[in-house]
Amino acid sequence: MSRRTLKLPSWLPIDPYILALIGTVVLAALLPASGTAAEVAGGASTGAVALLFFLYGARLSTAEALEGLRHWRLHLTVLVCTFVAFPLLGLAGKGLVPYVLTPQLQEGLLFLCLVPSTIQSSIAFTSIARGNVPAAICAGSFSSIAGILLTPLLAALLLGGSGGGFSADALLKIVLQLLVPFFAGQVLRRWIGGFLARHKKVLGYVDRGSILLVVYTAFSEGMVAGIWHQVTPARLGALLATEAVLLALMLSLTWYGAKRLGFGRGDRIAIQFAGSKKSLAAGLPMASVLFGAHASLAVLPLMLFHQMQLMVCAVIAKRRARDPLPTSAAVPQETVTVG
């Protein structure tokens, strides 16, 4: 990884990409795609999701992933936090219906709990806090790989009909739009991996532009279907409060649970940031495949949680960076960029 300077404002930032997502939602509210335009946008969104997962597969270095398996206890801990602890808390959220959350918002909250961890921001915050950066890289990568299979499977099991269930049509969509492009990227990596590495910055815009298209299509469908009358300001406030509790629980579980398991400071930091985060980039396209016309409500909790986790983890990382660091606990660090 290149040595670049990490620059974070001292005040709590709003992720610029979140602003772009909000702008896309506003555009969909004012000018939703309908009729023929909706068909065109839907087809383009389907292609964008396939392209995203093709690029995910083509960028993944199998050799690096296998190398990281040496620290299997840490990676297993992160996977358990991401795909066991989070889903259990999401299921507990059913007790909030209908007094705190609507059924649709609770389903979105549960879907949030099924999404894999982030890679880039987990690495960045681990670096700021002077944690085990190589472990964070591998843990985030393993979570993303596992999520391609586990997130749709868990959604089918736990969300039932709202998430597509085990219907042949839903499974076919998962295979064609997610798995086939991903494995095609892995197969072609030996020929196109160098090209992708040389044009990483440009392809980053392709990634984000594709996700914006997915968001526009999903929220347009929600507007046309008239489902947004279900989200009142009171319900939105209740959702934010629920997500704040969820994040606090996972931050505490990953930090103190890792200590009980005998991990050192550097590993605990990597576990906390990788095990308490959820990936917007992976979750949005998956939701478009799994939820169809109801994807807009399904991804709202994830969009809110994403910004919340960035703000809270920025504060935690900077505080951890001021902790006394024993010489014996020092971990070689890499300087990375949040983006």
pLDDT at 77: 95
Would 120 be classed as within a structural domain?
Answer: yes
pLDDT at 165: 45
Residue 45's nearest CA partner among 229, 288, 252 is: 288
Helix axes 133-159, 120-128, angle to 10 degrees: 140
The count of structural domains within the chain is 1
Would 215 be classed as within a structural domain?
Answer: yes
Residue 48's nearest CA partner among 198, 201, 194, 218 is: 218
Distance CA 171, CA 289 (A): 10
DSSP string, 273-291: HHHS---HHHHHHHHHHHH
Question: Which secondary-structure segment (H or E) carries 253?
Answer: helix 233-260
Would 5 be classed as within a structural domain?
Answer: no
Distance CA 186, CA 180 (A): 10
DSSP state of 231: -
DSSP state of 195: H
The label of the residue with tokens 């997962």 reads 53
Quote the pTM value: 0.77
pLDDT at 81: 96
Distant-in-sequence, close-in-space partners of 101: CB < 8 Å, separation ≥ 6: 93, 109, 235, 238, 239, 242
pLDDT at 274: 93
226: left (phi over 0), alpha (psi -120 to 50) or beta: left
With 0-12 / 13-18 / 19 or more C-beta atoms within 10 angstroms meaning exposed / middle / buried, residue 269 is buried
Distance CA 257, CA 142 (A): 20
Distance CA 46, CA 56 (A): 16
54 CB neighbour count, 10 Å cutoff: 19
Encoded amino acid at 308, one letter: M
Would 334 be classed as within a structural domain?
Answer: no
Distance CA 159, CA 328 (A): 47
pLDDT at 255: 97
- From first to last of the 339 residues of the chain, give the pLDDT tens digit: 444 444 444 444 566 777 887 888 888 888 888 888 888 888 888 888 788 778 877 876 766 556 556 778 999 999 999 999 999 999 999 999 989 998 889 999 999 999 999 877 888 888 889 888 888 878 887 888 888 889 988 988 888 655 444 455 666 777 777 778 888 988 898 899 888 888 888 887 887 788 788 878 877 877 776 666 667 888 999 999 999 999 999 999 999 999 999 999 999 999 999 999 998 878 888 888 777 666 777 888 998 898 889 889 988 988 888 887 665 444 444 444 444
200 CB neighbour count, 10 Å cutoff: 9
Q: What is the 3-state secondary structure (H, E, C) of 115-139?
A: CCCCCHHHHHHHHHCCCCHHHHHHH
Contact present, 60 and 187 (Cβ < 8 Å): no
pLDDT at 209: 84
Contact present, 126 and 273 (Cβ < 8 Å): yes
pLDDT at 259: 95
CATH code, 210:
1.20.1530.20
Find the domain containing 272 and state its range. Answer: 16-31+51-322
The label of the residue with tokens 């909706």 reads 38
Distance CA 152, CA 178 (A): 10
Would 131 be classed as within a structural domain?
Answer: yes
Would 42 be classed as within a structural domain?
Answer: no
Would 229 be classed as within a structural domain?
Answer: yes
Distance CA 98, CA 230 (A): 12
Would 70 be classed as within a structural domain?
Answer: yes
